Copies of this chain bind each other. A is one copy, B any other.
């Protein structure tokens, strides 16, 4: 099927997922939306994250997408229900693929998760891991400074190492053998985190796992594109801030160009209390 895949993130961190999708599904057309006008989501409330996720999905639905990838750990942790209940296309978040990979890899059933405040407080990974491996012990740690450190480009800087040494001691003490990088920014810190955790700990890049899950879902639903790529990938953002191209290229692993800024006003939805679970009626308004 020639229709594109839609992907959204709170900003440009989701480009780490796009990079994996490009690699694994080179014939699929990708439409990316990064909500850079309202980034970050990870410090905000569930109510607000749900609203933003609905609006992001609404924007992508314009492009007649065949599947929606929620390439944001915070939105995947807090807004999957509202998206799954409202959309006709398959919706794939990053949490379940990450949790499944951790369950497969752990030997001692001790799994760590690092992420934003909202992701960790939601206990989304704990829930998905224990659903699959009830005896698993899951240790969550919110690491709010890692996103700004990555955006500053201090990937293996002494400040970053010291910050990680303050966030990770519980993981080390509890001897987790598997650590989920529960934020799309964190794969850029993979080497530094590996050094601190030690080589015996397996790091899971949720983005990489998600790309595999997307491929599987497309195959199962007979949605995969078996002919040439139908058109170029498209990148939309709600703001083009300072250093945007520099940071974006760092995430994508190649030059990020042809990015279009959209006025998000046109896809803001009016949500009445109690109607959060009905995206369709909002889209029709």
Contact B239–A44 (Cβ < 8 Å): yes
**Residues of chain A from 27 to 60 with CB closer than 8 A to chain B in the complex:** 36-39, 43-45, 47-48
Contact A151–B144 (Cβ < 8 Å): yes
Contact A243–B158 (Cβ < 8 Å): no
> Could you say which residues of chain B place their CB within 8 Å of the CB of A155?
none
Cβ of A38 to closest chain B Cβ, rounded Å:
5
Contact A239–B48 (Cβ < 8 Å): yes
**Residues of chain A from 238 to 274 with CB closer than 8 A to chain B in the complex:** 239-243, 265, 268, 270
Assess whether A149 is interfacial by the CB under 8 Å rule.
yes
Assess whether A71 is interfacial by the CB under 8 Å rule.
no
Contact A268–B270 (Cβ < 8 Å): no
**Residues of chain A from 2 to 17 with CB closer than 8 A to chain B in the complex:** none
Cβ of A234 to closest chain B Cβ, rounded Å:
20
Q: Once bound together, how far apart are the Cα atoms of A151 and B38, in whole Å?
A: 18
Cβ of A187 to closest chain B Cβ, rounded Å:
20
| Interface-facing stretch out of A92-100, A159-167, A204-212, A275-283 | A159-167
> Could you say which residues of chain B place their CB within 8 Å of the CB of A149?
145
Residue of B nearest to A269 (CB): B265
Q: Once bound together, how far apart are the Cα atoms of A63 and B240, in whole Å?
A: 33
Q: Once bound together, how far apart are the Cα atoms of A47 and B47, in whole Å?
A: 27
Contact A45–B242 (Cβ < 8 Å): yes
Q: A148-B145, A149-B145 are in contact. Are A242 and B121 (CB under 8 A)?
A: yes
Contact A152–B158 (Cβ < 8 Å): no
Q: Once bound together, how far apart are the Cα atoms of A270 and B43, in whole Å?
A: 27
Assess whether A136 is interfacial by the CB under 8 Å rule.
no
> Could you say which residues of chain B place their CB within 8 Å of the CB of A158?
162
Assess whether A168 is interfacial by the CB under 8 Å rule.
no
Assess whether A117 is interfacial by the CB under 8 Å rule.
yes
A residues in contact (CB < 8 Å) with B: 36-39, 43-45, 47-48, 117-118, 121, 144-145, 147-149, 151-152, 157-159, 162-163, 166, 239-243, 265, 268, 270
Ordered by A's residue number, 6 sampled pairs between the chains whose C-beta atoms are within 8 Å are: A38-B38, A45-B242, A117-B242, A145-B149, A159-B162, A265-B268
